[in-house]
Amino acid sequence: MSPRDAAVAAALAAFDDGTFLAVLRRRVAMRSVSQGDPDLASLGAYLSDEIAPSLAALGFASTVHPNARAGFGPFLVAERHEGDGLPTALIYGHGDTVLGQDAAWRPGLDPFAVTVEGDRLYGRGTADNKGQHTVTLLALERVLAARGGRLGFNAKVLIETGEEAGSPGLNDFCAAHRGELAADVLIASDGPRLAADRPTLFLGARGAYNFELGVPLRDRAHHSGNWGGLLRNPATVLAAAIASIVDARGRILVEALRPPPIPDAVRAALRDLAIGGGPDDPAVDAGWGEPGLTDAERVFGWNTVEVLAGTPDGPQNAIPGEARATLQLRFVVGTEWRDLVPALRRHLDALGFGSVQVRASRGEVLGATRLDPEDPWVGWAMASIERTTGKRVALLPNLGGSLPNDVFADTLGLPTLWVPHSYAACAQHAPNEHMLGSVAREGLALMAGLFWDLGAEGPGVMERRRLRAEA
């Protein structure tokens, strides 16, 4: 058995001997919820009482920093330095979760206790993100031991506790600590694989911009029998305004909200990717979305406008005084999202919808990012993962969802590699969230292989990037 194979075997043993499950149970039991009215003490304890001691055992020096944004959770930064001439990897994860939604879980399940049923490991944060960064850090531990106490590269770790609240303060923190967080590559795990049985690498994320449309016509409702046919219904006006932005087949009608053409390298990466088909996946609606694109291009290479979910309860026999809806633009690199509200204002006015208000929703805007699929780090990572798993990697130029990757790609200027250890039907953000044990086990192996190869091959990748930049 080669030393690399021994490191991978040691990582697999961390799953088989119960180590991974024991660590995951301990972390899920900590109620580090960042949504609603966050318990800052619990968020801080996750970093200081759980993550920092685990990293200290691996030779990392950790500091927990308060968030400059009042009312939001802190950040942990840890570093292990082995040599000035070695590559440096920044490893990211988040220790916060969404609300437990305790009463909505299936009987027998507790969101803050891991329950094992076959291949499923149930618990809040198992998929998003405690289980994922546990895979990454345990793999790092096993490589360190297999290499006799050395990694062969420098490592930094950043764990935040506000991602589920939109990562408030993260960008400002990283800008202020740019030197402390300087690295050669980001390696992180979040989001889902393309399919549960296919290792996936994604290089960025679509952006997310939420905006509100409102039609405030009157200060109260009026009886629909007495006034119907005489009073403009704000809900009807709102529906027509929305239909002028995105049509009945999901196609974006406002040119300013549409992306630039899909680059050839992105089309090539998406060519063999199939979406859905898993046992818990919804059926894909044929003919929905931008015509002329494949399903993968619609999700990973194009923009979408969605009316976000809501449940209007208790309808009355009255014409409402006002109507409101929250919409979301998921956008790819090259979209001029900063002009979204003025562009929509011009569009609505031109069509006679002057009574429709438009404004940005509160919250952080997540920018769109996409590392060049031809970057040397990409080919290196794909080769490493395929060497470990014997499977062809699904390469996504960007995730369909959104992550704070713009902080790492733009603010810190890093090439970004995301290796997810979840799958699309994991019920993250919902009751019955779970991680698949089979994916976690394979994730331990491929991350160990990736870290081993970073120590052996990282300097060569950096040299190829330098030569490419100079060419």
The predicted pLDDT at position 364 comes to 76
Domain end, chosen from 327, 344, 360, is at 360
In this structure, the answer to whether residues 170 and 44 fall within a common structural domain is yes
In this structure, the answer to whether residues 77 and 173 fall within a common structural domain is yes
In this structure, the answer to whether residues 427 and 395 fall within a common structural domain is yes
In this structure, the answer to whether residues 63 and 168 fall within a common structural domain is yes
Domain for residue 264, yes or no?
no
In this structure, the answer to whether residues 121 and 167 fall within a common structural domain is yes
At residue 138's C-alpha, the angle toward residues 135 and 139, to 5°, is 80
The predicted pLDDT at position 282 comes to 87
Number of domains in the chain: 2
Domain for residue 278, yes or no?
no
Q: SS3 of 385, please?
A: helix
Phi-psi region of 379 (alpha: psi -120 to 50; beta: other; left: phi over 0): alpha
Instruction: Say if residues 174 and 79 touch (Cβ distance below 8 Å).
Output: no
* Residues of the chain falling short of pLDDT 70: 311-312
The predicted pLDDT at position 425 comes to 93
Instruction: Say if residues 166 and 173 touch (Cβ distance below 8 Å).
Output: no
Domain for residue 283, yes or no?
no
The predicted pLDDT at position 43 comes to 98
Neighbours of 247 (CB within 10 A): 11
What backbone phi and psi angles, to 5 degrees, belong to 304?
-135, 145
In this structure, the answer to whether residues 404 and 321 fall within a common structural domain is no
Q: Which residues pair with 205 in a beta bridge?
A: 369, 399
Q: SS3 of 311, please?
A: coil
In this structure, the answer to whether residues 328 and 345 fall within a common structural domain is yes
The predicted pLDDT at position 272 comes to 85
Taking the C-alpha atoms of residue 49 and residue 422, their distance in angstroms, rounded to an integer, is 26
Task: Give per-residue pLDDT as tens, 232-286.
Answer: 999 999 999 999 999 999 999 999 999 999 999 999 999 989 888 888 788 899 9
Domain end, chosen from 360, 383, 408, is at 360
CATH code of the domain in which 422 resides: 3.40.630.10
For residue 447, give Cα distances in angstroms to 12, 385, 450. Answer: 10, 8, 5
Domain of 223 in residue numbering reads as 207-259+303-360
In this structure, the answer to whether residues 141 and 252 fall within a common structural domain is no
Taking the C-alpha atoms of residue 393 and residue 194, their distance in angstroms, rounded to an integer, is 10
Domain end, chosen from 328, 360, 392, is at 360
The predicted pLDDT at position 278 comes to 80
The predicted pLDDT at position 471 comes to 83
CATH code of the domain in which 250 resides: 3.30.70.360
Domain for residue 119, yes or no?
yes
The predicted pLDDT at position 280 comes to 79
In this structure, the answer to whether residues 119 and 252 fall within a common structural domain is no
Domain for residue 442, yes or no?
yes
In this structure, the answer to whether residues 255 and 226 fall within a common structural domain is yes
In 3D, which of 136, 128, 154 has the Cα closest to residue 54? 136
Q: SS3 of 194, please?
A: coil
Domain for residue 63, yes or no?
yes
In this structure, the answer to whether residues 119 and 233 fall within a common structural domain is no
Query: Six-digit token pair at 420?
Result: 């997810």
In this structure, the answer to whether residues 330 and 222 fall within a common structural domain is yes
Task: Give the list of residues 6+ apart from residue 27 with CB closer than 8 angstroms, or none.
Answer: 46, 50, 95, 125, 130, 134
